[in-house]
Every structure is written in structure tokens, then in C-alpha cells.
Chain A
Amino acid sequence: MQPRSAARELAALKADTAVCLAGRIVARTADGFVLQDDTGCAQCLSSAQASVGAFARVVGVWDGVQLKAASVELLSAGNDRFMRGDSDFSQLIGKRLSNLRARHDVLRTIRSFLDAQGLLEVDTPAIVPCPGLDVHLDAIEVLGMGAPRWLHTSPEYQMKRLLSTGLPGVYQLGKAFRRGERGKLHEPEFTMLEWYRTFACAQDMMTDTEQLVSQIARVLTGGTRLPGIQQPVDVSAPWDRISVAEAFQRYAGVDVETVVHDDDRFYRLLVEKVEPELGRGRATFLTDYPARMASLARLSAQDPKCAERFEAYVDGVELCNGFSELTDPAEQRRRLQADQAQRGKLGRSVYPIDERFMAALEDGLPPSGGNALGVDRLVMLALGAKQIDEVVAFTTARV
């Protein structure tokens, strides 16, 4: 097969160069047609019967303006349905396709960064008997497994079971599933990076995060800034750090102690007043969560009112959530039971406690740090995309 040229590069060629192009015929002109490949368009001079929509290979001579076709080989049937605004062609060609290339670069950079740190990449099952008990997350049920099963909302339990074998660290780059979450920053099925290290704590995970994201900025932009959703953000280490208490005081003018027992008020202030201010111009960690919002994080040895939990914000977008992991099985069981009770009270499905995960904690988990990072959001921030739809091949609604 003859080597193929890229439409975009034709303009740089000298006149009378022999070229071969392959792509789709997107329009007919008076004396030929327009061929579009994944890099751009080229005018082709040809008397061949070219049907719009067909894929074709054109061999000929570039005259400096257009391609004088010597031969046109039609490679597929064509119709003009591809031109409609809702066709895959219209949806994916152009910007969206270059976003997918950038997404590939982000995934590759994540892997090379964590591989270099000696972490083991794993992929644990997506279908689980006990999805996470986070009070505000709903799992998607899976039928046909002979027993109650769900898609995980995070692979946390299985990854910690692997960690309890004494591995220095594991990471997973895969899908997580959360029922009912759909918006500019949410898809019910999204890509999440989770990584865990033994003999480590939240501080180490923050250092990892700073280094990983600044490496992504280097690879994608050659600099230390990401374009962000609204404005560029400096992601070079070290990032700013602000505690939940300071952030509520500064941006909402509220003593966090007065709202911490009321989820509605706490989270309303968080989304309306606090989050929009975080990570503006410079990436920021929100740290020292109130103990009540510890989730699966260990309480601080210095201040038991706070948990060693953090989230990273870049341009107002929550990028990740990390912990010094809770390793005390008795405390873990108390929290899971409390979550179950709370879910029952709110009328949400009450999932069972994962006893295999509990057994791993009882058998002993070294002090560990863990972090879960939304990869689609990272790609959005790295590209300046305003919606998650722009950085995935197909949204859940278009599958």
C-alpha cells in the first residue's frame, strides 16, 4: 500500500509532488470533490463518480492548490447521513478527536508516572457484592449474577485487600459508576484513577498529586499551567493548602462548627460559596475535614476533631479525594454501620458491609495513603474543556 500523506501537510509541499490521500468525500465541487481526513480537507480535481460520504483513496499530483487525481478508489459506500449534526462523524471529527488524543496523552502520562514510582497496576472487578456505603452515592444494580450485585462506585475495598498483602503500592485506572450523576462535570460512568501506598499518609498522597498533575502540564502544554475551565491555573508544586475551617471562614463567613452537623447546609455552602473560590489561578488542597466527614480517613493524631482527608481543587473543580486510610477495623465497622443507618433514614438503598474487606483490615493493613482522582476532569482542565462531554468518546446518553 502506498504511504499516505496528511491533508494538513499538503500546503507545505512543493508543486508537482506525487501524493496519496485517504479519507472521506465530504462535498462535491464543480470539477471534483473535497476529501477530509483526520487532519483536514483537500480539494481534489477529478472527473470520477464520487458519492458524498464514501471513503476513498486518491493518488495524484499536488499542484500547490489542489490534488489532481490520477486515480480515485472508492473504499466504502457513502450517503450524506454523516453530515447531519447528530452523526458520529459530526460529533467526533475535529476538536473532539484532538481531545481524544490529549486524553490518550494524559492516560499514558499517569501510567508512566506511577510505574516509575514502583506501583503495581491492577484492575479489580467492576461487579461487586458490596458497593461503597458513602451516604450520598448510589450504585447501579447488576442483574443476572444469581445474587445481589452492583457496579462499584470506587474500587477501594478490593484495592485495600490487595494492599493488605504487603504490596508497596497499587494503582487502578478504570471506570467507576454512580447512579443518577449527570452534569457538566458528571457522567454516571466515568474514568477514575485510584492509587494507594503502604507506609504512607495523606501528605504523601498530596505530594504525588502535585507531581503527577505538574507532569501532565509539562507533557501537554510544555509549561507549569493548565488552561482550566475558566482561567489558567498554575499547578507547579507546592500547591496552596487551606483547611475546611479556614475556607468556610474566609469564603462563606461561617464557623464550620455551626454547620457541620447539617449536611444540607454544609454542602450548600461548600458548593455555593467555597468550591467556586478554590484553585483559582493556583491549585489548592482543601484539608483537615471535620471528623464527621472523615469517610474512610483516619482521624488526626494532633486534633481528633479533624480527619486526615483532603481534596484537590483546580479552577473551582474538585479533582480528587485522598486520605490517610483508616486501618482500625473496629472504628471502620462503626462508621460503616453508621452510614448504613443514615442511608436507611434517607430512604436510600442499604448495601451490605463488605466482610472480605473487613477481614483484610482485621488481618492488618499497614498505615497507608490513598487517593481517587477524576481523570475526565483532569483532561477537561488540561484542555480548557467546559463539559465532560467534550473529553469522552461517547457520553452515556450516546452509547
Chain B
Amino acid sequence: MYDFSQIKKNLKIKLDGVPFNVVDFQFVKPGKGNAFTRTRLRNMYTGAVIERTFKQHEKLEPADMDERQMQFLFKEGDDFVFMDTSSFEQLHLSKDQLGENQWYLIDNTNVDVLFFNDKPIGVTPPTFVLMKVIRTEPGFKGDTSGGAMKPATMESGLEVNVPLFINEGETLKIDTRTGEYAERVNVKK
């Protein structure tokens, strides 16, 4: 059982037998009242997001998952296609099932696919993924705002804020826990 203080993003819990993934959570506490954690949970079967508030002494039932490393092949409409590299078996996961993890998938890279009761229901991206910047304003031109960040679009379609010195074509390390820029990576040419 998990307790209140273990709630974090991407924790997998079971409510009435249905697996849910913690999308977002917030500690809430009236100044003189009980502490709660307000969560947004993604139903891992349907992709639907619900809100649930847990109180301090509530226990949460873990949803035990199996993980298998598979290769992400490509996107087909709203589906993402994965392949087991030893058996060549393929499977599909929908955009809704993947949630924000869809932004961390790069064609032909390996990723852990999650199985619940032998059914594929999601992926666990690595903590950091490397991705190329496909679009961002050039570095310093006309920057007089003092703001240190600017928006950039990554090859997966993910939008992140990056420091001003980042240029198109560069490879960045993205933290999948926050969806934020971590650092620039010098890829040997």
C-alpha cells in the first residue's frame, strides 16, 4: 500500500480494480485544517481523467504492472505502434492511453511498455529523453526583455521553454517528469 506522502506523478494505483496513473497532484491544506492531496488520475483503460482527493491517512492500492522493453516504430493516425524486437509482435496504444507520454516517443527508440493483466496500457518513458529542436526563434536577436527563456518545438511536437542560446537542430535533454528542458547535449558529429 502507498501512503499519502508517496503520491507523485506517474504513480500507478488501483481504484475498484481499475488502474489509474497520477497525472498531477497538489497538496492542499486549510491553514488550520486537515491536509489532503488533490489528484488528477488517468484511467489507464480509457484515458479519461478524473479528480480525486485523498486525506492524510488514506492508503492507496498499488496497481502492479509488468514492463517489457519494446521499440516505438511510428505513429499511425491517433495510434502509436510498438514492436517486440525479439518476437516481432506489434501492438497499438492510443493517444489517450499514452497521455502526455506521447510527447516523449521518438521513432525507432526503445521504451518500456506497461502491461496490466497482460493487456498493454501505457508506457514508462525514461527520466530523460534526447530530442532535436525543430523550431525556435534565433538566439539573441532583438532580445531586450531580460527573460532568459523562449519557446521551442521539439521533433515529437513537444513545446518546451529553452534558454536563449539554444538553436534549431540542437539536441536537448528533456526531463519527462516535468516536461521541461534539462540541458543541451553536445552530439558528436
Query: Chain A: residues with CB nearer than 8 A to chain B?
Result: 7-8, 10-11, 26-27, 34, 36, 38-41, 43, 83-86, 90, 93-95, 97-98, 134-137, 180-186, 263-264, 266-268, 270-272, 275, 293, 295, 311, 318, 321, 372
Q: Are A90 and B182 in contact (CB under 8 A)?
A: no
CB under 8 Å from chain A, chain B span 31-79: 31-36, 38, 53, 55
The yes or no answer to B1 lying at the interface (CB within 8 A) is no
Chain B nearest CB from A97 CB (Å) reads 8
Assuming the contacts A34-B139, A94-B149, A264-B55, asked whether A180 and B35 have C-beta atoms less than 8 A apart, the reply is: yes
Q: Are B34 and A136 in contact (CB under 8 A)?
A: yes
Q: Are A136 and B53 in contact (CB under 8 A)?
A: no
| Interface 9-mer from B9-17, B21-29, B107-115 | B21-29
Q: What's the Cα separation between A34 and B149 when bound, in Å?
A: 15
Interface size on B, residues (CB 8 A): 33
Q: What's the Cα separation between A186 and B37 when bound, in Å?
A: 12
Q: Are B32 and A85 in contact (CB under 8 A)?
A: no
Q: What's the Cα separation between A87 and B63 when bound, in Å?
A: 36
| Pick from B38, B139, B146, B183: contact of A271, CB under 8 Å | B38
The closest CB in chain B to the CB of A132 belongs to B32
A275 neighbours in B (Cβ, 8 Å): 30
Q: Are B163 and A90 in contact (CB under 8 A)?
A: yes
Q: What's the Cα separation between A34 and B182 when bound, in Å?
A: 22
A8 neighbours in B (Cβ, 8 Å): 144-146
Chain A nearest CB from B132 CB (Å) reads 17
Q: Are B36 and A268 in contact (CB under 8 A)?
A: yes
The yes or no answer to B143 lying at the interface (CB within 8 A) is yes
Chain A nearest CB from B59 CB (Å) reads 15
| Pick from A26, A36, A267: contact of B30, CB under 8 Å | A267
Q: What's the Cα separation between A186 and B25 when bound, in Å?
A: 13
Q: Are B144 and A271 in contact (CB under 8 A)?
A: no
| Pick from B26, B144, B175, B183: contact of A41, CB under 8 Å | B144
Q: Are B30 and A270 in contact (CB under 8 A)?
A: yes
Assuming the contacts A40-B146, A85-B183, asked whether A272 and B27 have C-beta atoms less than 8 A apart, the reply is: no
Q: Are A186 and B148 in contact (CB under 8 A)?
A: no
